Amino acid sequence: MCGRFNLTAPEQQICEHFQLQCLPRYQASFNIPPGQKILNVVKLDDNRFKAVYLLWGLIPSWSKDARISQKLINARSETLQEKPSFRSAFKKRRCLIPATGYYEWLQQTTGKQAFHICRRDKELFAFAGLWEYWEQDAGTVYSCTIITRAAAANLQAIHARMPVILPPSSYEAWLNKSTTPGQLEQIMHSNTYEAWHFTPVSDWVNNPLHDDHHCLS
């Protein structure tokens, strides 16, 4: 799964990486938990990429209770076309979620050990995501979820699941509404994980209110 991540890249680097004009109210974060608005990249009808902030925890359009978002922070890649919560979004509303790393916890005899997982070069990357809208009397809530898959061999020692991470060469196809389900499956299970490593970090990161460089030490 993916229940916590960070985005610490400079604003200019994010804009260049995702071909964005600007990032509204961007602020780097070392410890991003579910239940708050996070940076997403979506594709407009004129083919431009746009930065938007969506609630992390998807609320299906048919839901009667927004609290369902707490259970839908992740979506399994294997069942996206079957689950009512994700089926429509997988067809029409895919997004990129920028990140510089994510956290996972390994259960040990002495308790849980947190690990920070990132690229070896510590460069920016993108999770594959879905977005949705939920209409209510007070207005429309836009939300998102991070797609997960079985962990790559070099990361299985930490957890059986991991987020789907897309190479930049797949960004356009992932956001393109005309990309076929078969092509999307290939993108989600592409071999992009050899250049990743994990580092144990202190339990400082366990508290979602802690948001500073100590989360990485």
* Residues that are catalytic: 2, 104
Question: At a CB cut-off of 8 Å and minimum separation 6, what does 51 contact?
Answer: 14, 18, 20, 22, 23, 24, 26, 39, 40, 41
HEC states along 142-178?
A: EEEEEEEEECCHHHCCCCCEEECEECHHHHHHHHCCC
Query: What whole-number distance in Å separates Cα of residue 37 and Cα of residue 54?
Result: 5
First CA to last CA distance, the chain: 22
AA identity, residue 101 = G
Query: What whole-number distance in Å separates Cα of residue 63 and Cα of residue 162?
Result: 27
Q: Which residue has the tokens 């849980």?
A: 112
Is the Cβ–Cβ distance between 105 and 114 less than 8 Å? yes
DSSP string, 82-97: T-TTTHHHHHH-EEEE
- The H-assigned helical ranges of 4-136 are 11-18, 87-92
